[in-house]
A = this chain, B = another copy of it.
Amino acid sequence: MSLDRRSLRWNGWGLVDAPDLLGDKAETFWAWAGRSFGMDPLPRTPAKELSEIVLPAWRLASRYAEDLAGIVGTERIKSDVYERAWHARGRSYHDLLLLRAGLIDAAPDVVVYPENEGQVLELVRFAARENIALVPFGGGSSVVGGVTALALAGQAGVITVDMTLMDQLLDIDEEALVARIQPGMYGPALEEALQARGFTLGHYPQSFEYSTLGGWIAARSAGHQSNKYGKAEEWFASARLATPHGIWITEGFPGSAAGPQLRNLVPGSEGTLGIITEATVRIHRVPEMKDYRGYLFPSFEAGVAATREMMQSEIPTAMIRLSDLTETFFYNALDTGGAGADSPAVFCVMLVGLEGGVSTVVTAREQTKAVIQKHGGFPIGETVGKTWYMGRFFTPYLRDPLLDRGLGVDTLETAARWTDLLPLYRATIAAMERALEENAPTPGLRNVVMAHVSHSYRDGASLYFTFVFARALDREVEQWLAVKRAASEAIIANGGTISHHHGIGMDHLPWLAREKGPFNMDLLRAVKHVADPEGVLNPGKLFE
């Protein structure tokens, strides 16, 4: 069952009526935050109400209304202010700055909700024929501008294709452990349907509650437990996609040497090569046992070394999440409401999650403990692991109240070989701190730049950076962009990819071509030209 758009914030994260994440710690936390960021008391910077905001004029000629009604039916076409605003952008910090300020330069002319593949195919063909931009939309949780309702110059308008009515689990092949699922299924509904039959996809990205299967695949998403269940491109088996020239059905073999497997072009295509209408994914039986527990390390470096050894000795972990000193400090402050958070952390916390059969989990627990101990780490028990597990989808809710109080928070991420990881970490933190300092509203204000290792491989790992800062209210976007640029330059210069699991969208475009080089970009453009020669599929994303 899909989520009613009215129940979800059009300019923030998650449910309109979500309870305050901080609960009864709110007052002390905000007092601490005010002291910490040097703005005591914190200013009040509420978002504009939708009623105060003027949306961009309809660009799409009204004569198209009849065509659209013929395809999806009148009741599946929405063009009211709420739907247009809700679908105007994704949910990045940059998006929220603009939405909250009412600076909506791009909004879909209409939002359509197709109910089957035939309708999607007709929509795509119609858009190609009439030169109308189509923005495929699932949960809309992109944090890189992946669903901005953008039309290129010369295009006749923008239609957002909300896929969330195509939200059925179609079939489970219990023998081959694969499931056919429609792309508009939200995370919780998908897991509920699979788990009711004893299975799981095991894909729990931070956005899990408000993102969909199609989006996960299109953006090469990674779930918290990707060490076990794989990143989207790993559990993705095959797909059907609607393109202007028909349904693209990809290969889907367990293994094949029948030439390059073109299905590998789907993960990361971000809606620019076709709209996913169905995906087949590799599933697991619900694990017998889950074991999440915490460890402390005397340094981030020691924790990284332990993470590397666990991966390279192929201990079957589901998750290894290693916070640096600053992040350990900050999450502790969040947890205590700032109480006792006046001295810096001296340990880094690592959470290790194990999932699987009892004997596998028990063996892996002993193996992880041995490696951790060897690198100077020591156990702090299950409570911290369980607490994280219970609250793991709540942290994105913190962004809106921060934004209401003159503060800003954003995240960015990368992956690199182990050899490059620590130099990249140090360079990126330093670059972000410098950019934040140079762009602070008042000189000398404190900022927080922190990171954790979130997904690991035998050859490297992903680093996830979070920065919290006092907003320069007169130049919010410029301030953010300065930090984003500094971080991205440091990442590219130090052997990292511009994104490990957020995607490219519009925000990472300036670095994509540098990362890939002209040859790879030529290949990508050639593929685009086959799939979408008219350039109507999610224009302005992935391709400049």
A residues with a Cβ closer than 8 A to B are 173, 175-178, 219-222, 231, 233, 237, 243, 245-251, 253-262, 264-270, 282, 285, 308, 312-314, 316, 356-357, 359-360, 363, 367, 415-419, 455, 457-462, 496-504, 508, 512, 515-517, 519-520, 522-524, 526-527, 529-531, 542
Tell whether, in the assembled complex, residue B415 and residue A219 are in contact, meaning their CB atoms are under 8 Å apart: no
Q: A526-B529, A529-B526 are in contact. Are A417 and B497 (CB under 8 A)?
A: no
CA distance A458 to B234 in the complex (A): 12
11 contacts between A and B (CB under 8 A): A178-B417, A246-B519, A251-B516, A255-B460, A256-B500, A257-B503, A259-B270, A260-B265, A262-B523, A519-B530, A526-B526
Chain B residues whose CB sits within 8 angstroms of the CB of A220 once the complex forms: 256-257
Task: Kindly provide the distance from the CB of A256 to the nearest chain B CB, expressed in whole angstroms.
Answer: 4
Q: A269-B260, A459-B176, A504-B258 are in contact. Are A253 and B416 (CB under 8 A)?
A: yes
Q: A249-B519, A524-B259 are in contact. Are A254 and B312 (CB under 8 A)?
A: no
CA distance A385 to B235 in the complex (A): 33
Tell whether, in the assembled complex, residue A527 and residue B313 are in contact, meaning their CB atoms are under 8 Å apart: no
Tell whether, in the assembled complex, residue A259 and residue B255 are in contact, meaning their CB atoms are under 8 Å apart: no
Chain B residues whose CB sits within 8 angstroms of the CB of A515 once the complex forms: 251, 258
Q: A175-B308, A175-B418 are in contact. Are A527 and B260 (CB under 8 A)?
A: yes
CB-contact partner of A255 in B222, B262, B314, B508, under 8 A: B222
Chain B residues whose CB sits within 8 angstroms of the CB of A415 once the complex forms: 253-256
Tell me the nearest residue of chain B to A499, going by C-beta. B257
CB-contact partner of A262 in B173, B270, B367, B516, under 8 A: B516
Chain B residues whose CB sits within 8 angstroms of the CB of A266 once the complex forms: 260
Chain B residues whose CB sits within 8 angstroms of the CB of A219 once the complex forms: 257
CA distance A536 to B520 in the complex (A): 20
- Going nearest first, the 8 A-B pairs with the smallest beta carbon separation are A254-B460, A264-B264, A220-B257, A254-B457, A256-B497, A176-B417, A526-B526, A257-B499
User: Which residue among A256, A308, A499, A516 has the maximum number of chain B CB atoms within 10 Å of its CB?
Assistant: A256
CA distance A503 to B259 in the complex (A): 7
With A233-B261, A255-B457 known, 14 other A-B pairs at CB within 8 A are: A173-B417, A175-B417, A178-B459, A221-B257, A243-B519, A249-B517, A253-B415, A254-B461, A255-B497, A256-B415, A256-B500, A257-B499, A523-B531, A526-B526
Chain B residues whose CB sits within 8 angstroms of the CB of A501 once the complex forms: 255, 257
CA distance A175 to B176 in the complex (A): 36
Tell whether, in the assembled complex, residue B260 and residue A314 are in contact, meaning their CB atoms are under 8 Å apart: no
CA distance A143 to B416 in the complex (A): 37
CA distance A357 to B370 in the complex (A): 14
Q: A257-B501, A415-B253, A529-B526 are in contact. Are A356 and B314 (CB under 8 A)?
A: yes
Tell me the nearest residue of chain B to A285, going by C-beta. B312
Tell whether, in the assembled complex, residue A259 and residue B177 are in contact, meaning their CB atoms are under 8 Å apart: no
Task: Kindly provide the distance from the CB of A177 to the nearest chain B CB, expressed in whole angstroms.
Answer: 6
Chain B residues whose CB sits within 8 angstroms of the CB of A531 once the complex forms: 523
Chain B residues whose CB sits within 8 angstroms of the CB of A527 once the complex forms: 260, 523, 526-527
CA distance A254 to B416 in the complex (A): 6
Q: A176-B419, A219-B257, A231-B255 are in contact. Are A314 and B316 (CB under 8 A)?
A: yes
User: Which residue among A249, A497, A502, A531 has the maximum number of chain B CB atoms within 10 Å of its CB?
Assistant: A497
Chain B residues whose CB sits within 8 angstroms of the CB of A251 once the complex forms: 497, 515-516, 520
CA distance A521 to B498 in the complex (A): 30
CB-contact partner of A248 in B176, B357, B519, under 8 A: B519
CA distance A453 to B258 in the complex (A): 18
Chain B residues whose CB sits within 8 angstroms of the CB of A248 once the complex forms: 519-520
CB-contact partner of A516 in B222, B258, B357, B461, under 8 A: B258
Tell whether, in the assembled complex, residue B499 and residue A256 are in contact, meaning their CB atoms are under 8 Å apart: yes
Q: A248-B519, A530-B523 are in contact. Are A258 and B497 (CB under 8 A)?
A: yes
Chain B residues whose CB sits within 8 angstroms of the CB of A542 once the complex forms: 259
Chain B residues whose CB sits within 8 angstroms of the CB of A416 once the complex forms: 253-254
Chain B residues whose CB sits within 8 angstroms of the CB of A258 once the complex forms: 268, 497-499, 504, 508, 512, 515-516
Task: Kindly provide the distance from the CB of A385 to the nearest chain B CB, expressed in whole angstroms.
Answer: 22
